[in-house]
Amino acid sequence: MQQALQSRTFEYHYQPVYSDDHIVCDWTALREQLLHQWERLSPVEMDHAGPHRRKIAQLVERKYGIAAPCIENYLHNFERTMPL
């Protein structure tokens, strides 16, 4: 019986909680900062985009005409300064 238990192998599959697209800082604080900075964005639009860099970048691109990859980079750098 003990040998049967020892012969079993268990595979561990790591699935990260956050993808590269997910914002990892305090979302409510970042949301307020972004709404203050980009006044053309509405709170409803930000809530719909949620803490996803790509969705926020696409929203800013639509409203301001700034390229989404630039906004994604900006958001990544900006969130590093925010509390977790």
Classify residue 11: in a domain, yes or no.
no
pTM summary value:
0.74
Q: Is the pLDDT score of 4 beyond 80?
A: no
Enumerate the H helices of 1-84 as residue ranges. 2-7, 27-37, 43-49, 53-64, 68-79
Classify residue 12: in a domain, yes or no.
no
Parent domain of 71: 17-79
Number of domains in the chain: 1
Classified as helix, coil or strand, 9 is coil
Q: For 22-43, write each residue's pLDDT tens digit.
A: 888 899 999 999 999 999 999 9
- Report the range of poorest mean pLDDT among 7-16, 19-28, 65-74: 7-16
Classify residue 47: in a domain, yes or no.
yes
Classify residue 84: in a domain, yes or no.
no
